[in-house]
Amino acid sequence: MRRRIFAANWKMHLGPAGARGFLETFLPTYAPRDGREVWFFAPAVSVRTVADVIRGHPTLRAGVQNVYWEPQGAYTGETSVAMAAEVGASTALVGHSERRHVFGETDDQTGRKVRAVLAGGLVPVLCVGETLVERERGDTHAIVRRQVDVLSGLPREQLDRVVVAYEPVWAIGTGRNATPEDAAEVHAAIRGHLRLVGAAADRVPVLYGGSVKPGNAAELMAQSEIDGVLVGGASLDPVSWRAILDAVRD
């Protein structure tokens, strides 16, 4: 059985004080469930705070939203994998749509980051997904296959540690989201692409991200191909975040 992962991506919100306040509200009512993990992708300045506050909760993880592939050097503003690990991160987002479309990150750069995260002992969450123009052209499958192909050449033991998140770009922060059936269909295609690069696709968690809310989380997670969610705006408030967790009855 694949892990069920509920991942909060706080983007450029919740500095250290805000992150601590969020968790101090969330933790007293948090009840762990078998087979379920909750991950918090905090801004780099808040990762240590998150890691410190959740220490002792084995089903909770702290993560970073981005890393650079070099171990050190003259790369102003970047964070290495070793630095992320030192402050308590055990996972890292790679290739989020905002990194690709706002900051111009390429597939080659995404591939380098995946390899750096794996080499540093962290779990990469590889984000893939198409824009509205690409979707309307019928290119969804070609786009996600190209983005999954950055995993080609990795040994099986590393592929088994990867998590994939399908986030249709047109559904992020827009209030629109793919129907559960549409999302499940793309998730199934992603598993096919994972098999082509040599992964044990039936063991790789594939998450859905794109305007996930308390009102649609259960319907999405009812699809057998969807193993979890990557949530942006609705994860910034501990009440709505808890509502998403409570909406899904495993």
Which amino acids are annotated catalytic? Answer: 96, 167
DSSP for 199-230?
--GGGS-EEE-SS--TTTHHHHHTSTT--EEE
Going by C-alpha positions, the residue among 97, 34, 33, 86 that lies closest to residue 64 is 86
Cα 195 off chain centre by = 20
Whether 231 contacts 96, CB under 8 Å: no
- DSSP single-letter state for residue 197: T
* Rounded alpha-carbon distances, angstroms, from residue 55 to 9, 50, 77, 158: 19, 8, 27, 26
Dihedral through CA 30, CA 1, CA 39, CA 55, nearest 10? 60
Cα 97 off chain centre by = 11
Dihedral-angle region of residue 223 (phi above 0 means left; psi in -120 to 50 means alpha; beta otherwise): beta
